[in-house]
Amino acid sequence: MTANDMPIKDRSLTTSHTSVPTPAMSYIATEHSCRRSSEMPFQTAPKDILDFIRQQIQQEYAEPHGKPWIIGFSGGKDSTLVAHLVVEHLISLPRSERTRVVHIVANDTLVESPLVMKHVRISLTEIQKAAHAFDLPIVVATTAPEPNQTFWVNLIGRGYPSPNRNFRWCTDRMKIQPTSNYIRDQASISGEVILLLGVRRSESATRAGAAARYDNGSRLNRHNDLPGCLVFRPILELDTDDVWEILAENKPPWGGSHDRLIQLYRDAGGGECPVVTSKSDAPSCGTRSSRFGCWTCTVVEKDKSLAGFVDSGFDQFMPLLEFRDWLVEIRNDPKRRLARRRNGRVTITKKGVFVPGPFNMATRREILDRLLTLQAQSEMVLIAHPEIERIRELWVEDVIVSAERNVQAQRTLATGDA
């Protein structure tokens, strides 16, 4: 864990109204000031960066049009802070000025870390209740992959090998598409939407690169892949310390405190899988620093979120951790893979390397059997019944396709065609 990722327990500025200058307040004098001052008008802006961000949110919301806002909510600290600041702003407005609908949208890959998903569900319920109580124009929604494109349907049904860095088939199907579909739907209803993301430039080199692609000197940028979607990144220039500082010092406007979130980071021991809405963001999904991703994630060499939770005393996740490790282990076992890809072709790279096809049927059956046993023992819902039905349909389709290919091959041999 880096100092920046360290939750509040080891830091001194945990109380409200401290007289000690916060990183946010003192940032004009820090090494970050050059970068920030070149991109943000601090000569004329308030000293406190938090005030500046609040001002940006207030100004953007007051723009004379009705484009709805969509907040991509992962339940992590950054998107929580964005939701916090926006809900706080809506509450501060008279009812007559709450003219813009704000969607707070989480995505459930259906294989999320169980504790993280629980936290997201509780947070969304709290926000929903506050929206009702304060009469706020907030829509809370959760998206999910298409039933035909879930992790298990692709892994067990189609036999896709466990995802890795070279074949990361999961992010687009499980994260980008569900969120993008929601955004497209809203854009088609309203003409244009504004997507609020909790991305921060200092989060990582990858995020800095992705953020730079959107730098055009104005508050809103066109989304690279989604027509009708403008992107607003209100906390782009905050550092990790700033985010923790603000969350620790300010109670969420929907009630309670951010303690559950802080505890979650302590238990998981690290960073999060951010909201992903484009392929250029995909490399940050399932990276070594991501600890809040899918519990099945085999893109990371060693799972850190479940391991962190197990280390924090959540022993019930140990069997899930072992199952994930087994998925990594079997991935490159040639005995478990078919020679041909699903399109019937044999793949050999330009360098002459043979690339095996999907998991064979025996392995797919074994994965399903083990998963169902794990589900029964863990008493957690790990795979849904419709997924099992779809998997069985795909198996039947694969058997038919394979039989047809064999017949075709025999005909070819019989007629002597090459």
Taking CA atoms, 119 is separated from 195, 269, 272, 328, in Å, by: 22, 16, 13, 27
For ligand SF4, the closer CB: 115 or 127: 115
Residue closer to ligand SF4 by CB (options 67, 304) is 304
Supply the minimum distance, in Å, between the C-beta of residue 63 and ligand SF4.
34
User: 381 exposed, middle or buried (CB, 10 Å; 0-12, 13-18, 19+)?
Assistant: exposed
Distances (CA, A) of 233 to 100, 196, 216, 260, 396: 17, 6, 12, 25, 47
Task: Supply the DSSP symbol for 232.
Answer: E
Nearest approach in angstroms of CB 61 to ligand SF4 is 32
Can you tell me the distance from the alpha carbon of 339 to that of 75, in angstroms, rounded to the nearest whole number? 41
246 or 285: whose CB is closer to ligand SF4?
A: 285
Name the percent of the chain in helix, strand, coil, to the closest 5.
Answer: 50, 10, 40
- 67 DSSP assignment: P
Around Cβ 377, how many Cβ atoms within 10 Å? 10
Task: Provide, rounded to whole angstroms, the least separation between the CB of residue 267 and ligand SF4.
Answer: 18
Q: How far is the CB of 109 from ligand SF4 (least distance, A)?
A: 6
Q: Which residues bind ligand SF4 (CB under 6 A)?
A: 109, 163, 168, 170-171, 174-175, 273, 285-286, 293-294, 296-297, 299
| Shortest CB 176 distance to ligand SF4, Å | 9
| Cβ-based nearer residue to ligand SF4, 226 or 299 | 299
- Residue 165 Cβ, how far from ligand SF4 at the closest point, in Å? 9
In the complex, the smallest distance separating the C-beta of residue 323 from ligand SF4, rounded to whole angstroms, is 14
User: What letter would DSSP give residue 107?
Assistant: E
Q: To which H or E segment does residue 71 belong?
A: strand 69-72
Give the nearer residue to ligand SF4 in terms of CB position, either 5 or 172.
Answer: 172
134/169 with CB nearer ligand SF4: 169
Question: Taking CB positions, which residue lies at the least distance from ligand SF4?
Answer: 286
Measured between alpha carbons, how far is 386 from 284 in angstroms, rounded to an integer?
30
Residue with Cβ nearer ligand SF4 (77 or 84): 77
CA angle 16, 6, 242 (to 5 degrees): 45
